[in-house]
Amino acid sequence: MKTTNWIKGLLLATGVATLSGCGTINAISNLEEGAGSTFMDVWDKWVDSEGDIAEATMWKVKVKDGVTVDDVKDAINSVATNRNIKNVGELPLSEELKARGIKSGVIHVMSFCNPVTARKMTDFSPAMAGFLPCRVNIVEQADGLWIYTMNMDMAIKMGRKMPPELKKETMEVRDTMWEMLEKGSKGEF
């Protein structure tokens, strides 16, 4: 059940009032535009998922019926090529599990990186290295294939303000990841 706007406002105001002595106001003033709404989107997903932080922090798209894993991978790689982002590795996890005699639906991890943007981002915030490379995961569930990737709006909007050039480059990576979900889910090139 979604939290009402009134309760959201009360929680946010209470949180800010409670933490203001701890530098919270200063941190909030350093955030990108849209940080509050992104936070509330993540919060709502966290509440709706009964505290599943992974569910709350991911973008996910269901793959259309009839689209195969190979179609999804080809579409995602096509987006990467067209948007000049490098596929830096794949982990066919379900194939490895099958090789070990463990039955598994599809779990296929694809990793992508724009090295120049990655360098600039880690210069800006070394801890961002923990998010590298960007991953797109194809996961088979009872109702079919799904594609997951990290909600990049969290890293962009909920983080401190970036220099304009870095923000532009980071938004290009963000848009590329979103396009991978959209086109991958349809097997589009």
State the pLDDT confidence band at 35, using cuts at 50, 70 and 90.
Answer: confident
Mean pLDDT of 6-28: 61
Q: How far apart are CA 88 and CA 10, in angstroms?
A: 44
| Residue 18: inside a domain | no
| Residue 173: inside a domain | yes
Predicted confidence at residue 189, as pLDDT, reads 84
Q: How far apart are CA 166 and CA 124, in angstroms?
A: 9
Count how many domains the chain has: 1
CATH of the domain at 129: 3.30.310.70
Place of tokens 């070990």: 100
| DSSP 3-state of 140 | strand
State the pLDDT confidence band at 42, using cuts at 50, 70 and 90.
Answer: confident
Predicted confidence at residue 175, as pLDDT, reads 96
Starting at the edge strand found earlier in the chain, the sheet holding 144-150 runs 58-62, 144-150, 134-141, 107-113, 86-91
pTM of the shown model = 0.82
| Residue 28: inside a domain | no
Mean pLDDT of 28-56: 82
Predicted confidence at residue 30, as pLDDT, reads 67
Mean pLDDT of 52-61: 92
| Residue 4: inside a domain | no
Which tokens hold the place of 54?
A: 């992974």
| Residue 11: inside a domain | no
Give yes or no for residue 26 having a pLDDT over 80.
Answer: no
* pLDDT one-digit tens code per residue, 119-149: 999 999 999 999 999 999 999 999 999 999 9
State the pLDDT confidence band at 167, using cuts at 50, 70 and 90.
Answer: very high
Place of tokens 């982990």: 91
- The tally of CA atoms less than 13 A away on the side-chain side of residue 51 is 0
| Residue 2: inside a domain | no
Q: Which domain holds residue 103?
A: 58-186
Which tokens hold the place of 116?
A: 């120049």
Residue pair 86/113 in contact by the 8 Å Cβ criterion = yes
Mean pLDDT of 63-82: 97
Give yes or no for residue 1 having a pLDDT over 70.
Answer: no
